[in-house]
Structure 1
């Protein structure tokens, strides 16, 4: 045993260099993913899906049968204003409500049935008293993401105001051509005749976190899986005698039970699968039973919660088995650093730089959040994200199994055992 003072290790350049590189890399990586992804959502906005609906039944304006609703929606659809930032989708009311109810639209602009008739009344010969202004309705969809819904609301409001101005120019020209004698109040309305009304297109219950409860619940499931992987991996190693365990002032080292790397991973995975039943149940009980989160389809939500924790945990165990101690760093990067900014929970994928959009296509948190949203907000509709979530869990489990067991089997075949045969740790129970 060396008599050198333990603080002498601070003189070792390698200690400073290795730790400095690792923590510096982590700090830079988290900054790039979190800040870089969200620094300019409006500047990176590309094809945000927004509905355009004209329910207008048309009416005679200036003696001609006119459908101003169709003119407005077609004009907005063809307009080059905003470039390709908004993906305007022409549809009917039923289709629009269905798409909002699946989170596939971030908002919509609706022209009502009596729009043309109300506009015609402003310039009609019988105008008297206070004129009734036509209405253009902007629908938001907070369940699809607060930032995306806000962007859609801004775009649709601007489009509605522009449409109102265009209709006003048309009305003014018609009134001047007909030399109509209109009341002063009606003349003031001609320049900007329509009222823009904002409504919630897919209302959520009060305990839905303004559309973020699905994301935070999904994040809980991912964190449970990754932290459980770290705990279970350490406890299995201790139980097999490969590592010691510090409990307060005591250090315990069990007798060595030699196991191949594949066997060790199999034991850990078995624990993860069984304990995911407990974690999923407690997560659901805590969110719904204790905190009062609005939720329906509870058996399905419980099943998905359990499967998510199990798959994330097995993936984490595979990384730990393959990479050892650095595995926890890779788990954190994959499941948190790269996943949270690309989950589409706050800022939609359509408002992220291209690199982050690509990550969002396979990062697990986005798929998990989409499935939980479907269960919580969209009546568990399969094409609202639930099917994709199940499929990606299956793919994730297959990849994790092939990677973890494939590489550990390779280690075993190459004789890369964790402890050489001639090195036998002795049982230890002593004060640290």
Structure 2
């Protein structure tokens, strides 16, 4: 139906703060939150480092060397391990001294961002290198391997590489000084023999540091960002999908007007209860979750994303879209129009920077680690990352993600049912507000 224009003058409308002041305040506050959280999450990753998990594996078996008091057991791996631990800030890095099997398992589960591995024959090779400076022969430097874990996050791998370079460069210098002194003592006997120039340079930096990627990412993953963007799609499908379902169903039921360009249409309300309205919206959202999740998997395959666990990705995607959509619709049922802003803050303003999908949480201010404990975006990211990069392992985050998603869905259902039932029983039916009496 066509509506007659309101005769209220523009000046009178402008004098009403609700017309212009309240929207301006809301937008300003929302943009302030967006800028504050987004920029703070990426401003200083190095300065924000805390509890960054790295595995430290010392396999060195040591070597027996002759000495003035007889043979002694020398273990350079133990010395290097102690030096790394002593020189690393425990607040910035969580160094986990584990065996090689445990380190590999934690890398496979995405629980550590990298590993430093000292091989079993490290001391033996180091002493052979020292002997080669006295006795001619061709030898290779002993190696320490620094492994990064690109599947746990591309940015985290860069942090790991920088940490390994700094830590092992210092270790290399310390071991080099010690080895040089040992050789000098061996050459000090009469007549004293100087260390040759090439040997001196080799002894100064005796360790070869090898930087490699553990289980490199395949092509088509956007250097690991595919998991984050896929998670973003899932959250947006639930969040924006819920908003669209809410608006269009309210328009069809006569609770809200519809505008088509210059045409304004407001159907007569059919008198359906709040609870039944919400049930209808939930049903539509459930059907959409099943369809949209399939669309996402199909498009991901079409653009060349490697998906080895397509069924798991589809099922989890449908569950996550449903959980986000149901929760968003329940918030709207509880708060009305204000629920739009609340949903935006929960799912977007706070969700994206605390997801850990671009910058790891350990390289952000700790407020984001706190938010990640309950923010839907982080839970979804853990599940999608586990499916795409860690063979859908439950210990890689999928188990936690599924449980958190089910809890979120249950909370959304409870909020929606309790709220709409209470409103219906209290007689708070949806309808136009009574007209205010004309002022004299």
Q: Specify if TM > 0.5.
A: yes
Superposition pairs of residues 269-418 of structure 1, within 5 angstroms: 269-288=282-301, 290-418=302-430
Which residue of structure 2 aligns with residue 37 of structure 1?
41
Q: Does 1:107 align with 2:118?
A: no
TM-superposition CA deviations, 1:351-400 (whole Å, max 9, x none)? 22232211111101111111111111111111110010110011101111
- Structure 2 CA distance for aligned equivalents of residues 142 and 129 of structure 1: 39
Shift of 1:417: 1.0
Which residue of structure 2 aligns with residue 192 of structure 1?
205
- Structure 2 CA distance for aligned equivalents of residues 28 and 341 of structure 1: 14
Which residue of structure 1 aligns with residue 105 of structure 2?
98
Match of 1:52, SS? strand
Name structure 2 gaps, 5 residues minimum.
Answer: 436-440
Equivalent of residue 253 in structure 2, options 233, 237, 240: 240
Q: Is the 1:171–1:190 Cα contact (8 Å) retained in structure 2?
A: yes
Equivalent of residue 145 in structure 2, options 132, 137, 141: 137
- Structure 2 CA distance for aligned equivalents of residues 149 and 422 of structure 1: 61
Q: Across the two proteins, how many residue pairs are aligned to each other?
A: 421
Which residue of structure 1 aligns with residue 77 of structure 2?
69
- Structure 1 CA distance for aligned equivalents of residues 330 and 372 of structure 2: 22
- Structure 1 CA distance for aligned equivalents of residues 215 and 272 of structure 2: 55
- Structure 1 CA distance for aligned equivalents of residues 88 and 53 of structure 2: 15
Shift of 1:67: 2.2
Q: Is the 2:269–2:431 Cα contact (8 Å) retained in structure 1?
A: no
Name structure 1 gaps, 5 residues minimum.
Answer: 424-432
Match of 1:220, SS? helix
Shift of 1:59: 2.5
TM-superposition CA deviations, 1:146-169 (whole Å, max 9, x none)? 222222222222111122122112
Q: Is the 1:131–1:185 Cα contact (8 Å) retained in structure 2?
A: no
Moved more, 128-137 or 106-115: 128-137
- Structure 2 CA distance for aligned equivalents of residues 421 and 350 of structure 1: 50
Equivalent of residue 218 in structure 1, options 213, 231, 234: 231
Normalising by structure 2, we get a TM-score of 0.90
- Structure 1 CA distance for aligned equivalents of residues 242 and 330 of structure 2: 9
- Structure 1 CA distance for aligned equivalents of residues 14 and 43 of structure 2: 39
- Structure 1 CA distance for aligned equivalents of residues 363 and 112 of structure 2: 14
Alignment RMSD:
2.1
